[in-house]
Structure 1
Amino acid sequence: MDKYLELKEKFEANRDDENAVKMAAYMRNLFSFYGLPTPKRKAIYKDFLKSEKRKKIIDWDLLDRCYADEHREFHYFVMDYLVAMQKFLKFDDVPHIEKYIKTNQWWDTIDGLDRIVGNIAFTDERINDLMLKWSTDEDFWVRRIAIDHQLCRKERTNTELLEKILVNNFGSSEFFINKAIGWSLRDYSKTNPDWVRNFVETHKDKMDKLSIREASKYL
């Protein structure tokens, strides 16, 4: 059976229309939902993802069809699929992922795709230059990807790159950019508070108050 249609059939069989209204409202009614809570959604395709990992080949045609679907659960599926297949992702796959970054944009999928792109840097350092380029993109969602692509790296954080990317985004009036700057610094402060403290002290005159507040949460 067609993999996309099989997944759609399972989503529809488990839909919760009352919850779908609530989920859509939470996302400002930008997307349609089946109303599937995260644990239930992931359980639906858990075995399928295991099967795909054994194949070691990313089915981009399937992912494109899923991301073109109006229901947000399909977009979440694409992210879960890519996370499951992370070790098979290569630099040449970035254009595929970039399509998803620029389609159906909102914080939930952007914040799911940032590290998927960023983690490719562990096998191909060309990602570093690309993230620096993305940090000045006209699309602020693309810039947010660049800002947060190193989240949770701890000691493996490239601080030189992080600083350049953050500085490139100073002066923005966009909430999602200033929040991301603070979020990336707050996350790294758990690993290296002195570096973050010094960064904020050095750049505080150019940083948005929201960024400073978020960055200083654990300092």
Structure 2
Amino acid sequence: MTSDSRYNVQALAEAVDRDLRARGGSERAQKEKAYLKSELLHYGVSVPDTRAIVRAALRGTGLEHDEVIELARLLWAAPTSSDDSADSTELTDGGSTGNHTPVHERRAAATMVLIQSQDRLGAGDADFIEDLLREAKTWALVDPLAGDLIGPLSERDAAFDPILERWASEEDFWIRRSALLAHLVPLRQGRGDFDRFSRFAEAMLEEKEFFIRKAIGWVLRDTARTRPRPRLRLDPPACSPCLRGDTSRGRQAPLDRTA
């Protein structure tokens, strides 16, 4: 990447940040921060508005692989003193950019940059994406990274197979959830590897973690749209806790198209 290219990516990240701030609202920021139990700063921008900002920013840029990664990295990070947005002005949730705390909507935008540019990504980017998953610590960021990014990438590139196998037994439950949700979109669309999902899910059936149990139920429910009575190899009672109640708490658009 040339210095001019890096400068353009930096300018693009700053433009996205300005647009996010302009769309923000204090009431939404406070409610979302409380709902997500978030330690990040919040601008108070809706998911559809964030997605529209990213689409407009990327339109016609023709970013190459390294530029996509750099843009995502810049947006994921806390605003720096070189950013126009990092001037210590008050944010809509009562915080300030001056303390260099990451911003939720910037991280959501970084996620969308990767999703919308996934044709330039591959297994060589798995470590970078895994770092984001570990830092995210919320379904609102983990789920689109796992479902809308890792899902399609792993379906077309077998090099992800050992990565998902490792993730399925990771100590970090967000990484385990990602291994499950990577199967969601392909299975929902009538493709995918249900045997592998079943194997992963069965190994996690006894877990007490809410986000693991709900991920299993979510994938099974959506798989049922195209696959008659999808079942794990264990008896149905063993999985019944995963299917109990509403699974919507683990979703973020575009996985949940109604969001």
Matching residue within 208, 223, 241 for 1:210: 241
2:59 is the alignment partner of 1:27: no
Residue matched to 2:129: 97
Residue in structure 1 matched with residue 181 of structure 2 by the alignment: 148
Residues 212 and 18 of structure 1: is their aligned pair in 2 closer, same or farther, counting only changes over 3 Å? closer
When residues 17 and 172 of structure 1 are mapped into structure 2, their CA distance, relative to the original with a 3 A threshold, is same
Among 98, 112, 122, the alignment partner of 2:155 is 122
Structure 1 unaligned spans of 5+: none
Preserved CA contact (<8 Å) 1:140 1:177? yes
**Aligned mates of 2:57, 2:121 — CA distance in 1:** 18
Moved beyond 6 Å, runs of 4+ = none
CA shift at 1:205, angstroms? 4.9
Distance 1:214 1:186 in 2: 12
Aligned equivalents of 1:212, 1:11: Cα separation in 2: 37
In the superposition, the TM-score normalised over structure 2's length comes to: 0.74
What is the percent sequence identity of the aligned residues? Answer: 24
Quote the RMSD (CA, aligned, Å). 2.1
More helix by share: 1
CA distance in 2, matches of 1:102, 1:68: 14
Where 2:136 maps in the other structure, the secondary structure is coil
Aligned residues: 210
> How far off its partner does 1:214 sit?
6.2
State the 1:58 CA deviation: 4.4
**Change in 2 beyond 3 A, CA 1:180/1:124:** same
Give the Cα–Cα distance (whole angstroms) in 2 for the partners of residues 7 and 92 of structure 1.
26
Question: Is 1:166 aligned to 2:201, yes or no?
Answer: yes
Residue aligned with 2:244, SS: helix
Alpha carbons of 1:29 and 1:127: their partners in 2 closer, same or farther (altered >3 Å)? Answer: closer
Aligned mates of 1:86, 1:108 — CA distance in 2: 19
Distance in 2, matches of 1:214 and 1:164, equals 23
Given the superposition, is the C-alpha separation of residues 123 and 199 from structure 1 closer, same or farther in structure 2, using an over 3 Å criterion? Answer: closer
Unaligned runs of 5+ in 2: 1-7, 79-101, 247-259
Cα distance, 1:17–1:214 mapped onto 2, change above 3 Å: closer
User: 1:146-196, CA deviations, whole angstroms, 9 ceiling, x for partnerless residues?
Assistant: 0111112132121221111111212101011011111111111111123x1
Residue 165 (structure 2) pairs with residue 132 (structure 1): yes
